Structures are given as C-alpha cells and as structure tokens.
Amino acid sequence: MKTVSSLLDDYWHERYKRISHLNIRSSIYDVTNRCNLRCKGCFFFSSDEHLVKEENDINKWKEFVDREVERGVNLAILIGGEPTLCLDRVEAFYKRVPTYCATNGLLKVPRDRFPGMMVGISLWGNSEDEKVLRGRDTFTVSLKNYEGDPYTYYLYTITPNQIGRIDPIVKRIHDAGLKVHLQLLSNDEGADGFYWNHEKLVEVRAEMDGVLDRYPDAVISSKYYHKVLTTGKMLGRKWGWMECPSVTELRDTRNPRPKHLIRFTRWGADLKTMHRCCTSATRDCTTCKDGAAHMSWIMVNKRAHIRTAEDLQNWIEVYEMFAKLYRYIPW
Ligand code: SF4
Ligand code: SF4
C-alpha cells in the first residue's frame, strides 16, 4: 500500500512534517456591505449579497466572534464590501482569532492597531486595467500604502486581456518588497473581452509559471496549482459543483458530499445569513475560477494524492502555499 513515508525521501518528508500538523478551520465573513469602489465583475455586488441588513452594534460582532471560536473556527477571513471601512469590526475578530483581512488597499490598515494581521490586497491588473475595471488606479495607491510591509501580499486576479503583460505587474510588486498570489477572473458580470477560452488558459498558465520561475521570492504559488486552476482538472476529475470544497456546511445539500472544508461557513454582514460558498451564489460553478476554492480542492484531497511521489509533492507545495499566505509558516 502507498503511504506518505513510502513515497517521500527525507527532504520531502521534512517539508511534509512542517505542514501536516496544521488543523485549519477557516470561515469567511462579510464585514460590511459598503465599499469605496464598485468594480466591474465584483461577485459580492453582482449577486446582491450586499442586500442583507448590516449589523451595526459592535457588541453583537464581539459576541458573534466568540461563538465562532467556540464553534471551532481558528482562521477568520474577512472580506466585504471593504473591511477597512469598519476597523472596529476587524478588531473584534483580530483580538479573538487569527485573522486575515482582504482589502482593495485604498485605506491602510493601521499597523499600530493590527501589527501582525495578514492583509491581502486585491489587484485586477496594471494601473490602466484597474481604471477600466475598478474606476481608478488603486495599484499606485495600495503600493504606496503597503510598500515593504512584511504581512501583506497582493491577490492578483488575472484577466484574459492581461496575457503578455503580467510580468511588469509582478516586477512592480517584487520591487516594492511585497508578495503576490495569482488567481483568475471569473467575469461574474460578463464584462466584454474578459472571457477565458482554451487557448487563453494555456497561455496564461505558461505566463504564471514564468513569473514563478523569475520571481520565486515574491510569487507565492505552485505550478501544480496553476495547472489545476487553468485546466479545471485534478487527477482526472473535473472541477464543478460536485467537487467544490468551499461550500457552507449547513447549506450543503450534495449527495454524495465531496471532501470539503470542515465547519466552513461564509457569513453575511447581518451575522445571520449564510451564503452558499466562498464566492457568489449566482456564479456558474463550471466556469468558477476562484483561486482559494481550487487551492482548497487540492488540499482536502490529500489521500487521492498519495499515489506517486510527484502527486504527493504537488500536494505538499500547494499546502505550503496556503500556509504561507496565512502565515502558518514563513514566506
Ligand atoms: S473592492 Fe472588492 S468588494 Fe469592493 S467593489 Fe471591488 S471587488 Fe467588490
Ligand atoms: S461558485 Fe465556485 S466557489 Fe462557489 S460553489 Fe461554485 S465552484 Fe464553489
């Protein structure tokens, strides 16, 4: 029988041991329904997930986070809307549970108040692309706000029309002393010219691999993740609703239920609504390119990767990537 020990040499076994004890139980929280941008293709607004009645009593937020910790959550992923518009709510999480805060980077998280909080800045291309898709050049502002910050990385959502233009963006992030993780646009609002096809996915994969080779200290990624994300296939299985691991547990009606994130919930800003999954309930799962969901797909399927040394090493690299992004292990 194939086992972890039989497939790994000492070097890989050490790497495996570094991440195998992690017992991550994450959930996602919409901190607010408001945002200081309105990006074309934002899943939050395009699916009307912002229409829940926002809870404004900070004590209710504190009690809610306490209940989440009791429920077993040990990683809070804050999204929105824009969480930095409600720093008291961010603090309610930060003081109680390891916390990651997604932001568009226009407002700087004050480091005296949140010294070690992981911050992920959303980025949709270079300054010109961002003007088209987000209404302004957020890249220049966020770079200035976070240059050299050791707890910050860019979550760069690559769009189909950026093929051939990814390197200068990664270089700019690298030169600012920051890290970058890559994912692909799902085009939730059908923006013209932003659809993927097979050829574009082949090209973008090559380019993602290229920047990983050229900027290994800045790009937090793995070639296996690029492969799974761009092909929608893993070990011969096809991505889609029946495989997705990032579904709110109490809303998961699938039968049979696939391997999934244990205790995962995505909560609305009313602290009552449970959204279907980590992105939009109106998104077509067959075309979903969410990076975190694909990463989790690989991670929850460890057993399936105990097949060949290469498969298991691929799995370890993806797990390490996740662990770095949430600072369970150093960059
Ligand atoms: S910054 Fe984020 S939440 Fe705000 S509109 Fe853009 S994608 Fe949506
Ligand atoms: S939209 Fe994406 S993340 Fe949501 S259930 Fe479908 S495949 Fe999963």
Give the 3-state secondary structure of 166-189: HHHHHHHHHHCCCEEEEEECCCCC
* Ligand 2 neighbourhood includes 283 CB (under 6 angstroms): yes
Distance 14 CA to ligand 2 centre (A): 33
Please identify, by atom number, the ligand 1 atom nearest to the C-alpha of residue 45: 8
* Ligand 2 neighbourhood includes 28 CB (under 6 angstroms): no
166-207 pLDDT tens trace: 999 999 999 999 999 999 998 877 777 788 999 999 999 999
* Band of pLDDT at residue 214, cut at 50, 70 and 90: very high
- The mean pLDDT value for 63-69 works out to 98
Closest CA to 299 of 27, 43, 25: 25
Cβ atoms of 96 and 66 within 8 Å: the answer is: yes
Residue type, 186: S
CA 215 to chain centre: 20
Structural domain spans, the chain: 24-287
Q: Where are the beta strands (DSSP E) in the chain?
A: 26-30, 75-79, 99-103, 118-123, 152-158, 179-184, 233-234, 237-238, 266-267, 274-275
Cβ atoms of 184 and 125 within 8 Å: the answer is: no
* Band of pLDDT at residue 280, cut at 50, 70 and 90: confident
Which-ligand-closest: CA of 103? 1
Q: Whose CA is nearest to atom 7 of ligand 2?
A: 285
CA distance 293 to 200: 21
Q: What's the CATH architecture for 24-287? A: Alpha-Beta Barrel (3.20)
Distance 1 CA to ligand 1 centre (A): 48
Q: Whose CA is nearest to atom 4 of ligand 2?
A: 277
pTM for the full predicted model: 0.96
Q: Provide the b/e sequence for 123-156 (b: ≥16 CB within 10 Å).
A: bbbbeebbeebbeeebbebbbebbeebebbbbbb
- The mean pLDDT value for 17-24 works out to 94
Q: Tokens in use for 37? A: 């941008």
* Band of pLDDT at residue 40, cut at 50, 70 and 90: confident
Closest CA to 86 of 34, 123, 38: 34
Numbers of helices and strands, H then E, in the chain: 13, 10
